[in-house]
Amino acid sequence: KEIAELYERAIEQTEALRKAQQQERLRSIQKQRLNLTKEEVSSLPDETVMYKSVGKAYFAWPKSEIVSGIESKIKANDAEIDNLKKQQEAIALKVKDTESQFKDLKLAA
């Protein structure tokens, strides 16, 4: 019974680790896209008319506000990536602990 519980816990922790890794990859891809968009928008002249979608409509926005919005999204993405890395480290420790408990249980049997 104890072995089955440890096995289930190990599976759940491994799945949580994979999920966190996948989310980190997605956030990294999103960060790359935001950085590319920022570079492209920044290279345009300041007097360029830019539009931002709000729901189904588009409204004219100053370039500076669009760039600052992109920068804030990049910062939020960085914070989320850091959070996900911390989660991965914590989950990895839990997985190692569960594995050691499983090995100890097998040796005791």
CA dihedral 45→49→54→55, nearest 10 degrees, is: -110
CA gap 13, 11 in Å, rounded: 5
**What average pLDDT does the segment 31-50 reach?**
93
| pLDDT tens for each residue of 79-103 | 999 999 999 999 999 989 988 888 8
Q: Which residues contact 63 (CB under 8 A, 6 or more apart)?
A: 41, 44, 46, 48, 50
pLDDT recorded at residue 109: 64
Residue 10, pLDDT score? 87
Mean pLDDT, residues 31-58 taken together? 93
- The answer to whether residue 60 scores a pLDDT higher than 90 is yes
pTM: 0.80
Q: pLDDT tens digits for 61-85? A: 999 999 999 999 999 999 999 999 9
Flag whether pLDDT at 48 surpasses 80.
yes
